[in-house]
Structure 1
Amino acid sequence: MKPLRTPPRVEPRRPGNALIVAAMLLSLCILSLIKARYCPSPYGIPAIDSCLIFSFLGDLWISCSQQDSAVAESAGDGSNLLFCAGVEDNEGNAVAPKIVADEAVSNLSRPLCSETSKRSNVCEAEGGIRLQGSSRTIFLHPSLADREWKIKPYCRKHDPPAMKKVNEWTMKPFPSDKAPPRCTAKYTVPALVFSIGGFTDNLFHDFTDVIVPLFISSYRFHGEVQFVVADFKPPWVSRFILILRQLSNYDIIDADNDDPGAVRCFPRVIVGLSFHKELGVDPSKTATGYSIVEFKEMLRKAYGLERPTVERWGVRRKPRLLLISRNKTRVFLNEKGIADMAASLGFDVRATEPTNKTDVGEFARLVNSADVMIGVHGAGLTNMVFLPAGAVLIQVVPMGAPGWLPRDTFGQPSRDMQLKYLDYHIEGDESSLTEQYPKDHPVLKDPSSIHKQGWYALSEVYLENQNVRPQLDRLKNTLLEARSLLPHNSKEA
């Protein structure tokens, strides 16, 4: 577990440095006066009454009379901004500044927000960022934006029911006729703003909507990034805190409960997370080519998982099978029969149901000890992220489920995670739906007609109101195939 470090707050004043900076800036003012008198402005900046030159070193402001030109800011954050105005207030902030920048035209022409996928938007800005969590507002230098940008920082923008649970954030330039909001805390690392609203508290959505995109967006910073969490859920943060600590070295900022007067200043801000695919990472879209393999390695570190890969099985060691139970929908109606049959094939069988109250680390270690994991399509199969490489995932696909659903949610992602994948499709005589509908009903005879009614119709019928009873003889063949895919000692087996 990484020790947390409190982010740097207001930087201490350094009188010696401040005097040096003051002398340098005064010299610049004098040179500017000479230049203004004898040379035209190369930037074409209109004449102004005075120029305020700003430096973060010592929070020092210096003003001097100047005609026809302006002086660049030394902000200490990589930006080259021109602060031109009339007077200062008692706090040393500019009053009614006129602010321009040496790259203002190119900055304004570049959009702050972009679509990273059909599921996600990301907004990003750099240079003099002021974040006020209580109002969900991010103030930008006018050289970075000439209008407001709004975003809901959650990776499910195509899904209105999810987005209703996500609050909107605003990024906007601070007014040109007022002083910028005064910083109450300063940071030297970027801020990453994201929401844990939406469909979280379902393990699949926890990972595919937030945790994997968070990895994609933050892994490149090697911990040197400040998480600002919106739509805060203390139980959710507590549940996944070990993962969050792997990705950020700093205490999380709860935006919803931040002090109303707090204005946090960052050199850079990223609002929203990048989404690539369900439970997946596209290495070609990451900063250094990292993939879901590095994601699984990160999880092993977070929870102290001992097995990166499966070991050989034989007489001295039985292969372990973990059966993911369900007790509300898509229930195994013959679970005990399945467990007994698997045991007769030589498996060390464990059956359990993960819930939102299950300790993630404890369950992750149980999953990591398994060689084969089997379960009906559903959130519980998301625990495959903890399986060692070379393990086998068996997805039991409910009758009537469209082909893309098992493939995209767990089939392809499991292969990317270096797992072996098998599926078992429930047939008519193995489904409880045959007891609910007449034999000639479209639910049984024409599932595609139900699919055409949309996600919520097919989900209600085939996922929320179906239980399964796999035929043991048929399922036995699938378990034997799974066992054959595991490395084993042939002489013992």
Structure 2
Amino acid sequence: MKTEMKPLRTFAATVKSFKSHARQEPCRITNLLFILSLFLSLSILFLFKSHYCSSPFGKSQTLMSVQVPVKVVNESDDPPLIEDEDEDQEDNNRALINTKSEKTKPICYETSSRSDTCEVEGDVRVQASTNTIFFHPCTSKPQQWRIKPYTRKGDPSALKHVKEWTLKSVMNVEELPQCTKTFTVPAMLFSSQGFTGNFFHDFTDVLIPLFINSYQFHGEVQFLVSDFMSWWVNKFSLILKQLSKHGIVNLEGEEKAVLCYRRLIAGPSFHKELGIDSMKSPNGYSILDFKKLLRQAFGLKRDTVVITKKPKLLIISRKKSREFLNEKEIAQLATSLGFDVVIGEGRWDITVSKFANLVNSADVMLGVHGAGLTNMVFLPKDAVVIQVIPFGGLEKVARRSFEAPTMDMKIKYLDYVIQVNESSLIDQYPKDHPVLKDPMSVHKQGWIALSSLYLVKQNIRIDLQRFRNTLLEAFKLVSNNSSMIHTQ
């Protein structure tokens, strides 16, 4: 009897277990189906967004307002420091700049302490009458960004005459202004105002930053120029034509137009003075690529120094300030040491092309700290630059402006620092005056006081005996590094 009851108890337990399992199984199946449907929905959404809402290349960051008041910066001043009048707004801006967002368009990002750049793709429409760039993005709500397209971000002096542009997202295509002109190539927006007109700023603030953003398109890009100045565009037309095969658009003359593009970059990218960070530039372009473009633009013959007779020394002459008071004597000294000497002055009646060819023919270029030394961009590789640094504790700013770029340009650098007895300031002030005895006391008064004294009011009479050693060093450098050693 006990043997018969055991199978029965076992069967009853099995039935009970099956019923319990059967009650739990629908719940598990329901949960599994819910998870699968959720995963499938997210996958479809991701594929849809990646197809229709792809971001332009670059490091994506949101930026509500890229212009904040900062310290005034002139030709050789330190990099600007943010000094926002509204601390709350400053904190918001900094937080936005440092927060990555792959979902927001346009992509606005800080390329340096001096520049911000915004990039837009999709349906992009430029309305010059309102200084607005409309675009139809994949965003959850309307957004706006503001930018002044010049690489002195936050510098009120430089940006005084630079217009601010608004980039505005529009959710419905029907709300966009109607196109009057449609283009198939990308657009690049920049300003020709700021500190332009100074040769140093023409290159370091505008032309090199333009190269950084536009060279990747191999000429298939159109320049939109805000604050248009015809004289500036004409002066550098040969360079601009190397960067763009298409007509330059003067936005001042397009007030009734709506220009439509599929891609637009607003605001050139600054990396460093007269230089390019190849790690940050599209396709790894460097300052050597920019110099190659200049050779093509102006028909420059020499890529590298080749000396067949005597090394040529070009003296960059100045007439308004920081003038060589004994220029002829300097030339005579250099000639006696074996140089073929040429004196050149960059004047308004001399075209950039003509002066660029003169510089390119030189093996050594000599000049006082100032915009004239910017002509080093035309020198061949292995050439030598000699910077004469005026009296007044200017070594740091002078070397940052013109020594630092020479390494990337593959040219040699020497400098000659003026002593007080070589400065014309000794004729203007008593020997015990702080201007002569304590230049740092003038530095503490700010850039305006510093530049007006040591740059504007100072001329130079070089000590020829002391300068002789610098010229001999330059002769040795250019001879040792030339492709063909000179013959007497």
Inter-CA distance 222–363: structure 2 relative to 1 (3 Å threshold) = same
- Equivalent of 1:163 in 155, 159, 164: 159
1:348 maps to 2:343: no
| Deviation of 1:380 (Å) | 0.7
Match for residue 55 of structure 1? Answer: none
1:446 partner letter: D
Identity %: 55
- Equivalent of 1:190 in 186, 189, 192: 186
Give 1:144-223 correspondences, 5 Å limit: 144=139, 146-174=142-170, 179-223=175-219
User: Would you say the 8 A contact 1:201–1:356 is kept in 2?
Assistant: no
1:246 maps to 2:242: yes
Deviations 1:145-182 (A, max 9, x none): 72221110000114211110211111112475963111
Deviations 1:430-460 (A, max 9, x none): 0011111222222212212221222222111
Inter-CA distance 261–300: structure 2 relative to 1 (3 Å threshold) = same
User: Would you say the 8 A contact 2:275–2:405 is kept in 1?
Assistant: yes
More helix by share: 2
Match for residue 226 of structure 1? Answer: 222
| 2: CA distance, partners of 1:237 / 1:203 | 13
| Deviation of 1:424 (Å) | 0.5
- Equivalent of 2:263 in 262, 268, 271: 268
1:326 partner letter: R
1:266 partner letter: Y
2:155 partner letter: D
Quick check: which has more Rg, 1 or 2? 2
Match for residue 125 of structure 1? Answer: 120
What number of residue pairs does the alignment pair up?
A: 398
User: Would you say the 8 A contact 1:118–1:158 is kept in 2?
Assistant: no
Mean Cα deviation higher: 112-121 or 324-333? 112-121
Match for residue 291 of structure 1? Answer: 286
Question: Which aligned segments of 4 or more residues in structure 1 are displaced greater than 6 angstroms?
Answer: none
| 2: CA distance, partners of 1:179 / 1:439 | 71
In structure 1, stretches of 5+ residues that fail to align are 1-41, 45-71, 82-105
- Equivalent of 1:430 in 409, 422, 425: 422
| 2: CA distance, partners of 1:412 / 1:394 | 13
Match for residue 454 of structure 1? Answer: 446
**TM-score, with structure 2 as normaliser:** 0.77
| 2: CA distance, partners of 1:486 / 1:202 | 29
Match for residue 3 of structure 2? Answer: none
| 2: CA distance, partners of 1:212 / 1:143 | 32
Match for residue 431 of structure 2? Answer: 439
| 1: CA distance, partners of 2:449 / 2:210 | 31
Deviations 1:224-277 (A, max 9, x none): 11110111111111110110011111110111111x331111111110000000
Secondary structure at the counterpart of residue 321 of structure 1: strand
| Deviation of 1:401 (Å) | 3.8
User: Would you say the 8 A contact 1:136–1:255 is kept in 2?
Assistant: no
Deviations 1:263-311 (A, max 9, x none): 1111111100000000000111112211101110010000000000111
| 1: CA distance, partners of 2:104 / 2:458 | 53
Match for residue 26 of structure 2? Answer: none
Match for residue 108 of structure 2? Answer: 113
User: Would you say the 8 A contact 1:199–1:206 is kept in 2?
Assistant: yes
Inter-CA distance 43–139: structure 2 relative to 1 (3 Å threshold) = farther
Mean Cα deviation higher: 374-383 or 340-349? 340-349
- Equivalent of 2:331 in 326, 336, 339: 339
| Deviation of 1:346 (Å) | 1.7
Deviations 1:53-107 (A, max 9, x none): xxxxxxxxxxxxxxxxxxx99xxxx7469xxxxxxxxxxxxxxxxxxxxxxxx76
Secondary structure at the counterpart of residue 228 of structure 1: strand
| Deviation of 1:111 (Å) | 6.2
1:160 partner letter: P
Give 1:334-413 correspondences, 5 Å limit: 334-413=326-405
- Equivalent of 1:475 in 461, 467, 478: 467
Secondary structure at the counterpart of residue 294 of structure 2: helix
Inter-CA distance 310–358: structure 2 relative to 1 (3 Å threshold) = same
Secondary structure at the counterpart of residue 396 of structure 1: strand
Match for residue 18 of structure 2? Answer: none
Secondary structure at the counterpart of residue 487 of structure 1: helix
Deviations 1:343-391 (A, max 9, x none): 1112111112102342000110000000111010011110110011011
Deviations 1:25-48 (A, max 9, x none): xxxxxxxxxxxxxxxxx989xxxx
| 2: CA distance, partners of 1:382 / 1:142 | 42
Deviations 1:314-336 (A, max 9, x none): xxx11111100111010101111
| 2: CA distance, partners of 1:373 / 1:298 | 21
Match for residue 252 of structure 2? Answer: 256
Match for residue 305 of structure 1? Answer: 300
Match for residue 16 of structure 2? Answer: none
Secondary structure at the counterpart of residue 157 of structure 2: helix
| 2: CA distance, partners of 1:125 / 1:257 | 23
Secondary structure at the counterpart of residue 163 of structure 1: coil
| 2: CA distance, partners of 1:394 / 1:296 | 19
| 2: CA distance, partners of 1:128 / 1:111 | 12
User: Would you say the 8 A contact 2:479–2:486 is kept in 1?
Assistant: no
1:419 maps to 2:415: no
2:239 partner letter: I
In structure 2, stretches of 5+ residues that fail to align are 1-39, 43-47, 55-100
| Deviation of 1:133 (Å) | 2.3
User: Would you say the 8 A contact 1:200–1:206 is kept in 2?
Assistant: yes
Secondary structure at the counterpart of residue 216 of structure 2: helix
Inter-CA distance 143–256: structure 2 relative to 1 (3 Å threshold) = same
Q: CA RMSD in A?
A: 2.6
1:136 maps to 2:131: yes
